[in-house]
Structure 1
Amino acid sequence: MENSSGVALDFSHVQLGDRPLVVCDVDDVVLDFAAPFTEFIKAEGLELLPRSFRLTGNIVSVETQVPIEEADVKRLIGAFFDRQEDWQTPSALSIETLKAIGKAADVIFLTAMPPRYQEQRRRLLDRLDLTFPLVATEEKKGPVMQMIHAARPLPSVFIDDMAHNLHSVRDHVENCLLIHMMPDSPLHQLAPKPDQPIVRATDWPHAAEMIDTYILSQIPHHRTAK
C-alpha cells in the first residue's frame, strides 16, 4: 500500500501469528495527548479553548484571545511530537492492560502521526515497555487496518478515540470489534459520537473485558471453519 505521496508503507516489522489481532491508536488512548499538549503551548503564551472538537480555531493567544493560524497549529503539533518523550505519559492502566491483552493476541499500534516522528514515539513506547509493533501514518486507518489484517480468519479489534477512524475501519474490515475509547477531557466532551455498531469503553479494564468476550465468541466459529 502507498501513502498519498506515492511512498509505500512499510509493514515489514509487523509479524502476525495465528492469534487474534488488536490494533490500537496511541494518542489519547495509550498515551495522554490533549492534557500535556494544553500545558505545552502555554510556553508560547497560548491556551486551548474547547469550543469544538478541533485544535485549529481553538488555540488562542492568552493576551489577545485571537486564534492562531492553521500553519502555526501544525508547527506546534510537530514541535510537541518532536518532544513527546518529555511530555506524554501513559493513560491510566494502559500499560498493564495491553500487556495482558498481548498474551493472547497480536497487538499493533497504529498512530495518526507524521512518520518523521516515529523514532521518538518508538523510544517512548519502549521506555514504557510497550514493545508492540508501531505503524505511524497520516493515511486513513481503514485501508491500513485492512492491509495489516489481510482478511485472516481470526478475530480483529480496533481501538481509537476518533469517530472518523472507527468509521473508516468499519468500512474496510468485516466483523471487526470497534471500540471507542477517549479521555474525559473538556475537548473530547465535544467529540462526535461514532455510529453503531461501535461500542464505547469507559477505561482500559472495560475495553479488555469487551475484547475477551468478543474473542471468546469468535474462536469457536473460527475453529469450526478450520
Structure 2
Amino acid sequence: MDIEDALAWVYREELPKRRDGRGELGPQGYASISPMCKIYSLGRWVENFSREPGFLPAMGEAHPDALLIEAAVEELRSFQRHCFDGDLGLLTHLPAGLNEHAAMAQSMGQLFDLVRIKARLGSRPTFARTPEPSADVGNTGKSLIYVVRNGVEQISGAEGKDRYPTGAYCAIERESAKAILIERADYMAWRAAVDLLAHRLSGKLSSIGVLPPAAAQPP
C-alpha cells in the first residue's frame, strides 16, 4: 500500500474509532462532543451529522498497524528544528531576494501537523512550478473590466452581451512569489517526511506492506 494511502487509512478510518479516557467515542485529537455520540443514548435514529461523528463501538478498536503508523508520525516531531544547507531548488522562476532556507525552516517546524492534516484530508501539498497569471476578479467572482477615461482608470460595465467600450481591458494578477515559495517548501518537507515514513515502516507492519509515496520528487 502506498504510504499516502496508508496514512489516509490511519487518520480517516482507524483512529476515529478510538475512545477517549472516559470511554466515550471521539476522533483522536478532538473532544468527545460528536452529535452521533451524544444522541446514541437516545436509542433511536436521529438525523444529525453536522460534525464528524466518529465510528460506532461495533467497528472495534483501531487496527494495531494504524497505531504503529501513528507512532511513526509522532516521531516526525524530532525534525522540527532540522536545517538544510546548500541550494534547495525552491527559487526557480521566482524573483531574487527570497529566502528559501527560512521558508523550509517554517515548513519543517510544522512538519508533524502538515503530514497529519494532509492524511486526514486524503490529499497532498502542491508544488507550483511557476507563478500563474489570473484575471483580477470582483466580489461577484467575475473578471473586472477597466477602461481609462480622462486619464483615470475606472471599472467599466459591458455595453451588451460580450461587448465592451473601446480600449477596455482586464487586469492580470500573479500569485505572490512568497506564497509560491512557502507552497514549494511545504511540498518538499511533506514529500521527504512521507518517504521517510515508508522506509521506517517497511517490514514493520503485520497486515500491509508500505510502499514509497506516489507523489513525485520536487523538480
Shared fold, TM over 0.5: no
Report the TM-score, using the length of structure 1 for normalisation.
0.22
Report the TM-score, using the length of structure 2 for normalisation.
0.22
Which structure has greater strand proportion? 1
